[in-house]
Structure 1
């Protein structure tokens, strides 16, 4: 264990705690008070108070004998910094810092943060915050927090949130859901020293954590974060994340280069999915997606690709089918049960979802046995408006017994809301039955479980990044917007170096004689080193051999009129049956991304872009291509040939290598179009924007 990890372990699993600056009049005193019931030794430090929460305080933290694992500061930024500097000379694991007023508040705050960071480094301490609501450990009753105690049940779900107030919202959502328990609630705050990657790394080996929820504003150390996420995946701990500050990526679809197509939320979505982290879009969904995995025995987890639903009424059956379809779950028709259902339940002919209206109680035990025991189903959901009565207790008993008998996940869901506390009493901790929150919440929980299992099964070793490659030429400055882009010939040669198929081309300098190129007419003739040549009318198509000299002359006139380079590019006209957009976004805070979409006007009409973090494996490329199967173009339709999918996968791998190798200087790279020809794929043009300083 590294020094940083050891310090964080001490801070989050303290044997001794010092709370500094708290008085009985403090508005957070009641929030911290439950810590007195923990198994930790709790000290208070206050310069004048007679008692704090009934305990006689020390006048200085230096008066406490022995090591202090966790120090909670309930003081201002200035006093907290002085405390940190004092702790650096003691044996302290780390600090929890409530105070704001650090780097987010100008020069004075930045100086406070510098001193805090220096003190933490000198003392080998972890720091939660500043501007944090601290943390709560429900199993140990540790409440080093400025958050109210919303009394969630103790359990296995741990949460790390950049937004402090959201840990309270998650606690409330968990409390509303029967059978759902919380292990840790951690407010990361401003992450002066210890960040979300550190917390995730800690949770990967935390025995009290079985599933993890994240509320993310941004990730400071992507490499370390995704390495920690992989350790959680390997440890069998699903991760679900809410990404805050989402961008409307589709509002930028008309932008002129690939980099503008990817808002930060899009990059997070793509990178999280690639890492096996699932997405939620609010706190209730976050808890729902984690609820079932925290209840079910991991030995029973399976890919859950075939779900059965048994409902108490036709309305719930119909609703369950619609919601399952919307949530990406498959309810197979169960043809093998059709004859039995028709013969057993009058008027019912559809086995899945099954409507048991009026006859369910009569045949319930047999229904449960047939559905849970079916080899065609990976899990079964039982939906009703369960009440606290002997009848419903018996029905739920039958479900739990069948789950134990067949060692298969069964989920019990109310048509809306929680099942009720009685279900917990009846089922007990059998590791087979789980309690969902409403139909959608329950199905989302199953979806998360199945997706996690499939992600673990498909987990691949990280792709080795290629050696860096230098920018091949001095970029040209676009006089229109000040961006800097590579000359046409240099970017085309670079694409070719990375295995990306390009069309033949000839470059004619501004003063060069116009010689016939090595390829046959007709030609496409254009100004080579102009970012937006179409807007200047600097493209001529279907130029014959006899027209070439005149076309080049016209390009030079246009260049002179607009004060741009007179270098001309000549290429053969290329017939195509489709166009793709493929590119690189090098601006994401998570690292370079490779992007794929339909080219030409489709990128704006369909507003459909897929991507993967670079570099890509062949399997990554193939899974990205598969995302477009529903469009019925890339994969062939009405007897047409697919769009050279093997070559496309290899091309995406090449782009991933280029993106990773040129990450230091590629801001964006856009090949639009990548033409789909009878012979294969071919790039006829590219725009590569270079970072300042390249």
Structure 2
């Protein structure tokens, strides 16, 4: 029982399930039906079936490990009592109207907390969009479209369900899946310190992205961050509008600097936007840890290369001189009007571009390789050279691409499969590279 049933249940009950499209209980069933094990729509007023599953009157009529509570706030404490008595190990409470909503809501949340504590029941929420674990076909959420999210290697743990949903769909739109999304909401008894260790042990999760407003369990948070071996990236919000935050997830007023200290002292990364949160998580999930902060930057266009080198230099990257051997290789490859120092600029994509990348990547002075290239139909991307580098050189390679989506996508997917994270704008590629620079210090 408990937290493990949130991550790996054998059966799921949807309490308040509905056959009426548009109702929360119907949307939750539309996602839950993807689960490989038994799914029980619970509603004493239900008649017949919903999505091929027969209604049952009570959670007591099921053997569910995980319950999705699709009922209004006033009914929720009673439902949690029913779950506890039925032996349910974990519950997700979607409704708002608890600690964030005044004294009456606080009393409701305290009732739930006491019941959960007495019966070893893990509660996600209340006031949450739920959680999904695509590689286990768990879609315990009411958000339409979540049942189509593919598996990936980044997990997102978000205090705000809206941020969790935004991050999940952004990863999906950009061609990546997710190893899990967990909306903590009001954190009645499932907080960062409970979820992070489970993800740290999950072989599917290669990086953990956190959205934080604040937690009363900050000491426990610090302990699990220090113990985790999986890379962690955090986005701390609610640093100004404290009343708004309290009305959202009942989070305490805590400083950005406190979380920054916890993360950076333990090898973590701070992000300033959802996009940075995801980009940093992706590059850490894909890349080996660099030996140092020395960047070899290869560009096929000088303008983006200058922007990227400016950004990286401001954030502590170094651009070492290339070895004599590398310079000799580059002299044989490059035309006279190109820039053959470090950064190396080829002027435009060229048939030998992959060989230029190879030369810089194999340079003993280079710890991290960052590349910017515009797609050209006649050339594509240097997949063969990148494949050899991925096998033979244990260095992170970050690739930033520009070009039309459909012709570019097959090569981009192949690069991702090789462990080479790709980005679609100079500032995103530069930021991702700067995260590796920090790791290399």
Show the 5 A alignment for 1:443-522. Answer: 443-452=430-439
The answer for the alignment partner of 1:128 in structure 2 is 124
The answer for the alignment partner of 1:368 in structure 2 is 357
Q: In structure 2, what is the Cα distance between the partners aligned to 1:417 and 1:218?
A: 41
**CA 1:321–1:185 in structure 2 vs 1: closer, same or farther (change >3 Å)?**
same
**CA 1:115–1:425 in structure 2 vs 1: closer, same or farther (change >3 Å)?**
closer
Equivalent position SS for 1:333: coil
Counterpart selection for 2:70 from 54, 68, 74? 74
Counterpart selection for 2:303 from 312, 315, 318? 315
CA contact 1:368–1:402 (8 Å) conserved in 2:
no
Q: In structure 2, what is the Cα distance between the partners aligned to 1:130 and 1:153?
A: 26
Q: In structure 2, what is the Cα distance between the partners aligned to 1:53 and 1:304?
A: 54
Show the 5 A alignment for 1:232-381. Answer: 232=228, 235=229, 237-247=230-240, 264-296=255-287, 300-334=288-322, 336=324, 337-338=326-327, 341=330, 344-358=334-348, 360-381=349-370
**CA 1:32–1:289 in structure 2 vs 1: closer, same or farther (change >3 Å)?**
farther
Q: In structure 2, what is the Cα distance between the partners aligned to 1:416 and 1:241?
A: 30
The answer for the alignment partner of 2:172 in structure 1 is 175
Q: In structure 1, what is the Cα distance between the partners aligned to 2:402 and 2:321?
A: 22
Gaps of 5+ in 1: 1-5, 249-261, 455-694
Counterpart selection for 1:397 from 366, 376, 384? 384
Counterpart selection for 2:6 from 7, 11, 29? 11
Provide the TM-score with structure 2 as the length reference.
Answer: 0.88
Q: In structure 2, what is the Cα distance between the partners aligned to 1:406 and 1:105?
A: 55
CA contact 1:327–1:444 (8 Å) conserved in 2:
no
Q: Does 1:94 align with 2:90?
A: yes
The answer for the alignment partner of 2:57 in structure 1 is 59
**CA 1:428–1:131 in structure 2 vs 1: closer, same or farther (change >3 Å)?**
closer
Greater helix share, structure number: 2
The answer for the alignment partner of 1:541 in structure 2 is none
CA contact 2:299–2:343 (8 Å) conserved in 1:
yes
Q: How far is 1:137 from its partner? A: 1.1
Q: In structure 2, what is the Cα distance between the partners aligned to 1:309 and 1:23?
A: 56
Q: Does 1:24 align with 2:19?
A: yes
Q: In structure 1, what is the Cα distance between the partners aligned to 2:77 and 2:55?
A: 21
Q: How far is 1:317 from its partner? A: 2.1
Counterpart selection for 1:184 from 180, 183, 188? 180
Equivalent position SS for 1:392: coil
Q: How far is 1:121 from its partner? A: 1.3
Q: How far is 1:306 from its partner? A: 1.1
Q: In structure 2, what is the Cα distance between the partners aligned to 1:396 and 1:448?
A: 24
Q: Which has the higher contact order (CA 8 A, sep 6+)?
A: 2
CA contact 1:12–1:70 (8 Å) conserved in 2:
no
Q: How far is 1:160 from its partner? A: 0.9
Q: Does 1:47 align with 2:44?
A: yes
Gaps of 5+ in 2: 242-252
CA contact 1:204–1:231 (8 Å) conserved in 2:
no
Equivalent position SS for 2:210: strand
Q: In structure 1, what is the Cα distance between the partners aligned to 2:109 and 2:351?
A: 69
Q: In structure 1, what is the Cα distance between the partners aligned to 2:318 and 2:215?
A: 34
Show the 5 A alignment for 1:670-681. Answer: none
Show the 5 A alignment for 1:135-154. Answer: 135-149=131-145, 151-154=148-151
**CA 1:102–1:321 in structure 2 vs 1: closer, same or farther (change >3 Å)?**
same
Equivalent position SS for 1:88: helix
Provide the TM-score with structure 1 as the length reference.
Answer: 0.57
Q: How far is 1:88 from its partner? A: 1.7
Q: In structure 2, what is the Cα distance between the partners aligned to 1:449 and 1:86?
A: 49
Aligned length: 423
Q: In structure 1, what is the Cα distance between the partners aligned to 2:83 and 2:366?
A: 58
